Structure 1
Amino acid sequence: METDQYLEVFLDESREHLQAVNDNILELEKQPEDLNLVNEIFRSAHTLKGMAATMGYEDIASLTHKMENVLDLMRNHKLKVSTEIIDVIFLAIEYLEDMVNSISEGNDGKKDVSGLVQRLDQIEKGNPVQDSTETRIDAQDQVVNSDDLGLDEFQITIVEQAKEQGFFPFQITVELTDDCILKGARAYMVFEALEDYGEVIRTNPSVEEIEEGNFAQSFSMIFLSGKESTEIKTIIEKVSEVKQVQIGNLVTISNAINPAEHESVENIAETAAKEETAATTEQSSQTSVKSSGSKTIRVNLEKIDDLLNLFEEVVIDRSRLEVIAENISSHDLTETVEHMSRVSTDMQSLILAMRMVPIEQVFNRFPRMIRGLARDLNKQISLEIYGADTELDRTVIDEIGDPLVHLIRNSVDHGIELPEVRQQSGKQAEGRLILRAFHSGNHVFIEIEDDGAGINREKVQEKAIENGIISRDEAEVLTDDQIAGFIMSSGFSTADKVSDISGRGVGLDVVKNKIESLGGQISIETKAGKGSIFSIQLPLTLSIIATLLVKVQKETYAVPLSSIIETVILNKEQIMYAHGKKVMDFRGKVVPIVSLAAVFDIPEAEAHEGNEYSVIIVKKGDKLTGLIVDSFIGQKEVVLKSLGNYLGDVFAISGATILGDGEVALIIDPNALIK
């Protein structure tokens, strides 16, 4: 069967099912008795298995098939939910995500899943959760760990055949001395010493990484030999700078790879349709109302882009027609233009909605990640998510995931303290990490907030001075938040030691560059001992926005309606001063006010005449500012056009538009003006 035409559908639906499994597994860990969750996970895994088998992705099919067996035992009360089992299922999800991503990049989606399949098989048989390659205590009563040395089917066959010929599999872990400099050379000497006594069939890490020295102080291998373990140990210990050698006999190899017990992928594909019918019947019995047909279609994003570009021209022509209708004074023409305006407004809302997707698509990956990081770092962390339904343009959604991962890992590693440290400082043992998103004007704000130790000003300041970023005199006049911003500099790190989580001096500068490439900004607020907030401002990338047109001298400006709270006519005597700056009383709150004429240094701007000011109250989060203009023109939907690379970074201007009379009006970014 030709499957290429279904590839995009397979990828989209696979990601949806994996996300569903991920979300439900997290809930299942909190509610292990809820079988409805198990049923949901089973159905997602089952559907994914059938699709993968039909498309010919064998590794995905075999892994989901084993997951399905374990889940089936759970929902039939034959297996209890445990943290260990959930850990294995999470690992399976990671494998499946890797394979789906590999397929989306044009690869074959193959991955060595045999070790994980064996672990699931052991769970299915009721054995303790461990790797399927069993170990026993060696001659020195030392248990040898084989977690990361799972063998594939070919390697298992080699081991079994070697046993028949009198060779035995040993699992060997070699630890080098702490002061060993040429680790790769010493490892090579170990392999060379063993060369005449048997064969190495697997190493952890890979042979290439070992010989390059890309490992800590120890490495492991599975070694076939006819010698005794004590003799092999003696051979290795003769190599200089070897600190310790652990050897264990691999007495049995799991029979998880058993043709009698495993369906072939072809059989899975043949039975997928029957099983899918059964699962669908079961699902429909639990649902009172079910749609008789699909209500969605998948459209290439480029087609929506083309449609939006064409519609932008319609909006410009609509504005031109409105001006012409006002001048001609024709009832029929005016009525037609008004109807066209109403219809086109609805059309543009639909087109823009097609591009917008909720940011929960990005946020959904983080609960599982936080769970894993907290366990790795021995920390207690609760994740709170707000505003997951905030919508953002699809192109921005696709790009913002990696920067958020960097920031969250940084907060977990450097921000939130260990439980005992938190308790000593009077905090709860469990740290809080808050992820929130919200709209403000024609921007979306994403905040990562933690209640950790905050950013150490002295440490960052000294590092910045050491790196030549600022002088000591300059540092004295900067605020804590300005000093904290230096952690975004290239190669900047204050980590005492490098970890797998963060602290390599890369990452945060990449985050800043990525966000700025999307037309956004990032800022930091921090308080020592209280925590930090990383705030990301991103454009909605809406090409058509509702604005209020205003006049400042002879210039026309457009202010996005989504940023405006209210318009106010302010008497001259109502203007007050605080710290030498103009402020006003707005509903009992002191609000700073700013003159647009002064901000943009508009020619002919003179001292204000008269006793009244026209003021626009704009908001950013919970902050308000008043913008002084000369007059209000009225509301208008305009096409947002970029100023181009040459004028791409103009203060407080987010773009420009062409009005109906052909005049160009600049579109103000109120967020830049809010004090």
Structure 2
Amino acid sequence: MDMDQYLEVFIEESKEHLQACNEHLLELEKDPENISIVNEIFRSAHTLKGMSATMGYDDLASLTHQMENVLDGIRNNKINVSPSLLDIVFKAVDYLEEMIFSIADGGDGKKDVSDVVYLLKKIESGEDIKVEDTTVSVEIITDENHAPGKNTYDDFELTVIQQSKEQGFNCYEITIILREDCLLKAARVFMVFEVLEQVGEIIKSIPSVDQLEEELFQNEFAVTLVSTEMAENVKKRIMKVSEIDRVIVQEFQLDSYKNEPQEQIQAKKEVATTLVVPDEQSKLEKEENHSAKSNNKNGNHKTIRVNIERLDILMNLFEELVIDRGRLEQISRDLNHSELNETVERMSRISGDLQNIILTMRMVPVETVFNRFPRMVRQLAKDLHKKINLQIIGAETELDRTVIDEIGDPLVHLLRNALDHGIETPTVRVQNGKHEEGTVILRAYHSGNHVFIEIEDDGAGISREKIIQKAINKEIITAKSAETLTDSQVFDFIFSSGFSTAEKISDVSGRGVGLDVVKNTIESLGGSITIRSAVGKGSVFSIQLPLTLSIISVMLVEVQNEKYAIPLSSIIETAIIKKSEILHAHNQKVIDFRGKVIPLVNLKGIFEVPSSTDEDEYVSIVIVKKADKSAGLIVDSFIGQQEVVLKSLGNYLSNVFAISGATILGDGQVALIVDCNALIK
């Protein structure tokens, strides 16, 4: 049976099950006695195992089966949940994710998972797992009388080594011990590998390359090298890399690993020789299958991938249709022809449904980005020896998919910054009268025609004085000009390239890189980022992103002879009040609106609209909101609600205050769209 037709469904469902595993493992960490959570994880693992076996991905099925055995032991009260156990299961899920993404990218989903399988089997057999077992997957023996990584070679690797020896190559087992004070272990590993690849071929590394890159080892690692160089020369080359304590180079003793009849060794040699040749036939078959699948006109696919550019073209065409629809509605009202009115109304309904479908096609919940952060925060908290409670609010908030694709990395930078610099260590927090567990809130919400994403922490806050001193030292400002700067202006220096007030540089953050990239990325999306902070209380990084949807519902208003459009999503309600109800407080006009004092903003003054003397005793007001803040916009009259196409003002008018764009009305007039967020402080 051809499984290619089910591949896309398999990949998507596998990702969902792995995400469910991650979420439930985080819950289990907080409530280790809750067997119902274990049952949920077991169900996801069991389903994934069955799908993988059916699709022929044996490595996936094997690892999931081993994980399932451990979970079964937990739910039958044979195994106790511990932090070390959870670390190993999390690592197993990470491996499963890597294999699924490999399959999604056209790979075979194969991966060396022997280290995690070994640890899972130890757990299943009832052995105690130490904390170091979760970071160093294979014990490395540094005694020079023993070979590191004994009994960790498979038959294929041993056969390749034997062939190399027969062809005159030297084979070494090399143990590298880094200094205890080595800061960037992964960088040293990379430099060692670079040296070794210049003198030979690396057959194996213990731990695996992936674990070495992620620094999942202590201070030593081992590699098996095939080379023409002498052992002493290899050792000298490695010792040239800084921060290495010592190097042990030993001749590979094949006999101690393998003791098989010669005919079996010869048979495996032939298999290995065959496997070393690139499997071009297999590649060709994959390409043919892919081509056949692509050209299969009888396939019953429920989902298809559409290039985002095509959606943009579709949106642009529909925008023109909306403008023409508005024009037709205006003509229909002017002519007052019953049949024309009926036809235009029907067309409006149909185009409205079409509009909703097109807009929905481009919208994605931000939870697709947020979902990966709980695991990241958990690991960072462990690395930094801090206790963190991550709260996610508003994950269902939808955002245009082009923005979703770009916003992930900036959020990672900001979260890492909050954990490293914002939240204090438990000891410091207790000394300052705080709970030892710090709180980081990741919040998303709509406001007007924008989406706001906020990263809030209850940590140490940002010191205005430190930033000013750093800026003076860098000659960005003078001591005199610093006195006139607002907090917002001071905090903006943090986004300058190379600007950091960190007293200690860490691998997480504090190198003066990242936040400038964050700001540039957000501004390239047409958004902005601001900071609110109080020393000792915490900080809030607020990202404002535009809804790149081009069609919005607005309330049309008149200011003298000019028409303006106010997005309905920003409006609380409209009101008509007497001028005598307007009060003054702190040089600001205000009104008492339902028991709450709300400031008034006169659009005539903001947009410098020429006005005549107004004797009317009543004032029309549009109450608008931004998060928990409100304001009243003073206008001359209300025209009514309408759906309009949001058009950019172009590069020359990109910085017009409180105007986010313009639209063409049914009668051909241009109305400016008010950015309510800019008017509320």
Coarse TM-score class (shorter-chain normalised): 0.7 to 0.9
Name 1:594's counterpart in structure 2.
601
Find the partner of 1:669 among 663, 666, 675: 675
Q: Deviations over 1:603-655 (max 9, x none)?
A: x3456553332221110011111112221111111122333444444322222
The one-letter code matched in structure 2 to 1:484 is: F
Aligned partner of 2:375 among 353, 368, 378? 368
In 2, Cα distance between equivalents of 1:465 and 1:554: 50
Deviation at 1:350, TM superposition (A): 4.0
Q: For the structure 1 residues 462 and 640, does the alpha-carbon distance in structure 2 shift closer, same or farther, using more than 3 Å as the test?
A: same
- Match of 1:291? none
User: Residue 262 of structure 1 aligns with which residue?
Assistant: none
How many residues are matched?
613
Is 1:25–2:18 an aligned residue pair? Answer: no
The CA deviation string for residues 328-352 of structure 1, in whole angstroms up to 9 with x for no partner, is 1122332343344344434433443
Aligned to 2:138: 133
CA distance in 2, matches of 1:498, 1:412: 14
- Using the alignment, how far apart are the partners of 2:220 and 2:161 within structure 1? 20
Q: CA deviation at 1:169?
A: 6.2
Q: Residues 509-550 of structure 1: CA distance to partner in whole angstroms, max 9, x if unpaired?
A: 111111122221111000011100011111222322111001
Q: 1:547 aligns with which of 522, 545, 554?
A: 554
Q: Is 1:175 equivalent to 2:182 in the alignment?
A: no
CA shift, 1:429, in A, is 1.0
Structure 1's 16 and 643: CA in aligned 2 closer, same or farther, altered over 3 A? Answer: farther
Secondary structure, aligned partner of 1:519: coil
- Structure-2 residue corresponding to 1:461: 468
Name the amino acid aligned to 1:376: D
Instruction: Determine the C-alpha separation between the residues in 2 that align with 1:429 and 1:144.
Output: 46
Letter of the structure 2 residue corresponding to residue 67 of structure 1: M
Matched residues in 1 for 2:647 and 2:100: separation? 37
2:369 partner SS: helix
Alignment counterpart, residue 538 of structure 2, candidates 511, 522, 531 = 531
State the shift of 1:410 in Å. 0.4
Any unmatched runs of 5+ in structure 1?
226-230, 254-293
Match of 2:621 in 1: 615
Show the 5 A alignment for 1:22-421.
22-52=22-52, 59-104=59-104, 111-129=111-129, 130=133, 133-134=138-139, 138=143, 154=156, 171-175=175-179, 202=205, 220-222=221-223, 244-245=245-246, 297=303, 300=306, 302=308, 305=312, 307-421=314-428
More displaced stretch, 607-616 vs 544-553: 607-616
Deviation at residue 44 of structure 1 after TM alignment: 2.7
**Does the aligned pair in 1 maintain the 2:142–2:175 contact within 8 Å?**
no
Give the letter aligned to residue 383 of structure 1.
L
SS at match of 2:179: strand
Distance across 1 between alignment mates of 2:439 and 2:659: 36
Report the counterpart of residue 270 of structure 1 in structure 2. Answer: none
**Matched residues in 2 for 1:145 and 1:363: separation?**
42
The alpha-carbon distance between structure 1 residues 366 and 201, as it changes in their structure 2 partners (threshold 3 A), is closer
Paired residue type of 2:549? L
Q: Measure the CA separation in 1 of the matches of 2:379 and 2:220.
A: 24
The code of the aligned residue for 1:202 comes to S
**How many Å separate the matches in 1 of 2:109 and 2:650?**
40
Counterpart contact for 2:456–2:540, Cα < 8 Å: yes
Q: Aligned partners of 1:521, 1:145: CA distance in 2, in Å? A: 54
- Distance of aligned partners of 1:493 and 1:155 in 2 relative to their CA distance in 1, 3 Å threshold: farther
Aligned residue identity for 2:395: A
| Partner amino acid, structure 2, of 1:600 | F
Partner of 1:507: 514
Shift of 1:223: 6.6
Q: Deviations over 1:364-414 (max 9, x none)?
A: 222222111111111111112222222222332222222111111100000
Q: Can you list the C-alpha shifts for 1:460-483, whole angstroms capped at 9, x where unaligned? A: 112222333333222211122321
Q: CA RMSD in A?
A: 4.6
Q: Distance in 2 between matches of 1:397 and 1:13?
A: 21
Deviation string, structure 1 residues 308-342 (Cα, Å, up to 9, x no partner): 44443332232122111111112233234334434
Aligned equivalents of 2:342, 2:192: Cα separation in 1:
86
Q: CA deviation at 1:152?
A: 7.1
Aligned pair in 2 of structure 1 residues 564, 301: CA closer, same or farther (>3 Å)?
farther
| CA displacement 1:195-230 (0-9 Å, x = unmatched) | 99xx995377979x99xxx999965335799xxxxx
Query: Could you say which residue in structure 2 is the equivalent of 1:265?
Result: none
TM-score normalized with structure 1 length: 0.78
Q: C-alpha distance in 2, partners of 1:309/1:139?
A: 71
Deviation sequence 1:530-585 (CA, Å, 0-9, x none): 10001111122232211100112222111011111122223333333333233222
Q: 1:88 deviation in Å?
A: 1.3
Normalised to the residue count of structure 2, the TM-score between the two structures is 0.77
CA distance in 2, matches of 1:565, 1:105: 47
Pair 1:144–1:338, CA change in 2 (3 A): farther
How far apart in 2 are the matches of 1:533 and 1:93?
32
Separation in 1 of the partners of 2:218 and 2:25? 36
Per-residue CA deviations over 1:20-52 (Å, capped at 9, x if unaligned) read: 111111122233344443333233334444555
Identity fraction in percent: 57
Opposite residue 205 of structure 2, the aligned amino acid is: R
1:201, 1:336 → 2: CA distance? 74
Query: Which position in structure 2 is the counterpart of 1:562?
Result: 569
Do the aligned residues in 2 keep the contact of 1:390 with 1:439 (CA within 8 Å)? yes
Q: Distance in 1 between matches of 2:152 and 2:620?
A: 73
- Give 1:415 deviation, angstroms: 0.3
Cα shift at 1:449: 0.7
The partner residue of 2:523 within 511, 516, 526 is 516
For the 8 Å contact 2:386–2:437, the answer to whether it is kept is yes
**Is contact 1:316–1:660 with CA below 8 Å preserved after alignment?**
yes
What residue in structure 2 maps to residue 424 of structure 1? 431
AA paired with 2:509?
S
User: Helix, strand or coil for the counterpart of 1:593?
Assistant: strand
1:497: how far off?
2.8
**1:453 aligns to what SS in structure 2?**
coil
For 1:659, give the aligned amino acid: L
8 Å contact from structure 1 (residues 177, 217) kept in 2 = no
* Cα distance in 1, alignment partners of residues 445 and 126 from structure 2: 47
Q: Does 1:636 align with 2:637?
A: no
**Residues 89-133 of structure 1: CA distance to partner in whole angstroms, max 9, x if unpaired?**
212222333444455556665544333333333333433443663
Per mean C-alpha deviation after superposition, the further-off stretch among 483-492 and 338-347 is 338-347
Distance 1:245 1:439 in 2: 58
Find the aligned partners of 1:242 and 1:486 in 2 and give their Cα distance: 35
Is 1:441 paired with 2:448?
yes
1:659 deviates by 1.4
1:330 & 1:168 partners in 2: Cα distance?
A: 93
